[in-house]
Structure 1
Amino acid sequence: MSPSSKQSNYGRAAERAWPTRIQVLWELGKPRLALSAVALTVVGGTLAGGLGFESYLRVTLGSLCLSWGCAAGNMLLERNPDARMKRTCDRPLPTGRVRPGAVLGWALLSGVVGLSTLASFGHLPLLAGLVMAVLYLGVYTPLKRRTVWNTVLGAIPGALPPVIGALAGGTGKRWALSLFLVVFFWQIPHFLPLAFLHAEDYERGGFVMLPGAPDGLRRTARWMRGWGLALAIASFGPILLGLMPPVWAGPIALCDLWFLRAVWQASRAPSTIPMRRAFRASLVYLGILPALYLLGAE
C-alpha cells in the first residue's frame, strides 16, 4: 500500500472516530439525568428571579458540566458492577470504548468547569455545587453497596440542582428551600418502583436496594406511602412561605392526589404493572408541579 493510501485510510478512520468519541462523552454524562438537573436548575432560577439571559446561560452551563462530571465519576467508580448488570453493561467503560484514565480526566474537567462557572454567582451556588459532588460521589455511590438508606442519602445531592438555580439569582432562598424539599421527597417514591422493577439486576451488580432486602416488599410499600405523603405536604411549601397565593392550593392538591393514587396502588399490591405506572406517574408529577409553581409564583 502506498503512503498516500495509508494517509487516506488514517484520515477516514479519524473522521469515523470523532462521532464515536462524542457519543461516548454524551453517554458518560448520563444525558437524561443531566438534562433533568439542568431543567430543575432553570426552574429554580426562574422562580427566584434576578437572572438575565447571559446569567441563564452561565448557570445552565455550570449545572450541566457539574452533572456531567458527577455522572462520569459515578461510572468510573461503578464500572465493575455496571459490567455485571443488564441495564448498564453496554455503557462505555464495560464495553471498553473508553479507558478509565480518560473518564477520570473528563470527570475532573467537567467538574472544574461547572464549579468555576457556579462560583461566578457567589459562594452559595458554589457551596451547593460542591456539596452535590461530594455527597453524590463520596457518600451515595459507595453506600449503594452497603445500605438501603443510600436512596435517602442520594436524594440530597439529587435535590440540589434547583437550589443552585434559585441561589444564583441572589434572592431565592425561600424558593431554594421549597424546591429542595419537594425534589428530595419526590425521589424516594420515584426511585423505589425502579428498584423493584430491576431488583435482580441490582442484586447482580452488588447493590443493596430496599426491594431486595429482608422484608423488602413490605418496607418498600411503607416507604413509598410515607415519603409520598411527605412530598404532598412539602408541595404546599411555596404557599406557606408566601411565594404563591392560596388559590393555587387546589391545583397542587389535585396533582398530589393523582400521584398518591398511583403510589397507593403500587404499594398495596407490589407487582410489575402498578410499579411501572407509579414510576411513570412520578415523572409526570415532576413536570406538572413545577409548571404550577411557575404559573402561580408572585
Structure 2
Amino acid sequence: MHDFLKPLKNTLLSLAKSHNLAPSAWQDFKEITKMRLAISVVFSSMAGYLLGAYSIDWLTVLLLAVGGYLMVGASNAYNQIIERDLDALMDRTKNRPVAAGRMSVRTAFSIATTFTILGLLVLYIINPITAVFGAISIFLYVCVYTPLKTKTPLSVFVGAFPGAIPFMMGWIAATGNFGIEAGTLFMLQFFWQFPHFWAIGWFLYEDYKKGGFFMLPTGERDRGTAIQVILYTIWTILVSLIPVFGVTGRLYLTPVSAILVGILGLGLLYYAVRLYIYKNNLTAKRLMLSSVSYITLIQIIYVADKFIR
C-alpha cells in the first residue's frame, strides 16, 4: 500500500514545489518595472536634489522619488514589450513576465502607459523642466535605444543619455533650471555608463548574442573593446574631479573630497586595466561590480561634502 501511494505522494510534492517556485504577481511587478534598477535611479535623483537644494523640501523629495520610479518603470515595461521575443531567447531574461507568457502584452502596456502619465504628472508638479527631461528619458530609452540594440553598438552611446538624466534631473528638481552644475552631473553619469555597460556586455556576451544584441563597441570581447573601456573610465575620473577647480558654479568639491573621489577613480581604473590584461568574464564582472560601487560612493561623497563643509 505504501509503495502504491508513493508515486502519488511524489507527484503532489512536485506540484507543491512548482507552485511555491512560481513567480507571484508582486515578483512580476518588480520584474516588469526592474525595481532594483528603478531604486538606484531614484537614489541618483535624490543625490542630485540634495546637491542642488538650498533647503530640503520633503514633499519635493517624495514627488521626485515617486516620479522617478514611475519614469523608469514605464521605460522598462515598454522595453520588455518590444523585446519579448528576444528576451525569451536569453537565459538572463527568459523568465521576465511578458517573455515567459505570465503577463499579457495588454497588461504590460497598461502598466507602462499608466506609469508614463502618472510619472510625468508627478514630475510636472515639481516643475515643468523636470517633467520635460523625464519625457525625453522615456522617449530616448524606448524609441531610440531599444530598437538600436539589435542593429549597432552605438546603442550604448544613445542609451547613455537617458541613463545620465536622473542625476541631473535631481538638481533641476531642486533649482528649476539647467546650468553648468546640472550639466556636470549629467557628464559624470554619462561617461560612467560606458565601462559599466561594456563590462556587462562582456561577461554576458554569449547570452546577448542569442538575442542578437550588439553591446560591445567593436562587437567582440577583444583588445579594442578593452582599450575603449579604459579611455571612458579615464574620462569618468576626470569629469568627477572638475568641481574641485571651482568652475562649476554652486557644484563644488573640497580638496579632501577630491582626493577620495580620485582614489575611487583609480580603483575603477585598476579593474578596467585588469580587463585589458586578462580579457575574461571574471575581470569583466569585477569591473561591473566596482563601477556600481564607484558611482554610489561618488554620489555619497558629493552630497556629504556639501553638508559637512
Q: TM-score, normalised by structure 2?
A: 0.86
Matched, 1:108 2:109: no
- 1:159 aligns to what SS in structure 2? helix
Identity of aligned residues (%): 29
2:175 is paired with a residue of what secondary structure?
coil
1:37 aligned onto 2:41: yes
Structure 1: gaps (5+ residues): 1-15
Q: Which runs of 5+ in 2 are unaligned?
A: 1-19
TM-score (norm 1): 0.89
- Corresponding residue SS for 2:226: helix
Alignment-mate amino acid for residue 133 of structure 2: A
Letter in 2 for 1:75: Q
Superposition CA RMSD, Å: 1.8
Residue 273 of structure 2 is matched in structure 1 by 264
Residue matched to 2:17: none
Q: Say which is worse superposed, 168-177 or 234-243, in terms of deviation.
A: 168-177
By how many angstroms is 1:171 displaced? 5.7
Q: CA deviation at 1:66?
A: 0.7
Q: Does 1:195 align with 2:201?
A: yes
CA distance in 2, matches of 1:77, 1:287: 30
**Contact map agreement 1:210 1:219 (CA 8 A) in 2:** no
Q: Deviations over 1:106-129 (max 9, x none)?
A: 000001111111111222101110
Instruction: Give the aligned partner of residue 51 of structure 2.
Output: 47
Aligned residues of 2:203 and 2:282 also touching (Cα < 8 A): no
CA contact (8 A) 1:41 1:163 kept: yes
* Secondary structure of the corresponding residue to residue 88 of structure 2: helix
Residues 1:125 and 2:134 are matched in the alignment? no
- Measured in 2, the distance between the counterparts of 1:237 and 1:122 equals 28
Aligned twin of 2:80: 75
Map Cα deviations across residues 255-298 of structure 1 (whole Å, 9 max, x no partner): 11111111111122211221121111111111211111012126
CA distance in 2, matches of 1:247, 1:282: 22
Would you say the 8 A contact 1:199–1:212 is kept in 2?
Answer: no
Q: Residues 221-236 of structure 1: matches in 2 within 5 Å?
A: 221-236=226-241
Counterpart residue identity of residue 295, structure 1: A
Give distance in 2, aligned partners of 1:171 and 1:69: 24
Letter in 2 for 1:224: V
Give, in whole Å, the separation in 1 of the partners of 2:258 and 2:26: 45
Counterpart-to-counterpart distance in 2, 1:244 and 1:23: 41
Q: Is 1:135 aligned to residue 101 of structure 2?
A: no
Q: Aligned-pair distance for 1:176?
A: 1.7
CA pair 211-184 structure 1, distance change in 2 beyond 3 A: closer
For the residue of structure 1 that corresponds to 2:95, the secondary structure is coil
1:175 deviation in Å? 3.3
Aligned length: 280
Tell me if 1:168 matches 2:173: yes
Question: C-alpha distance in 2, partners of 1:40/1:295?
Answer: 14
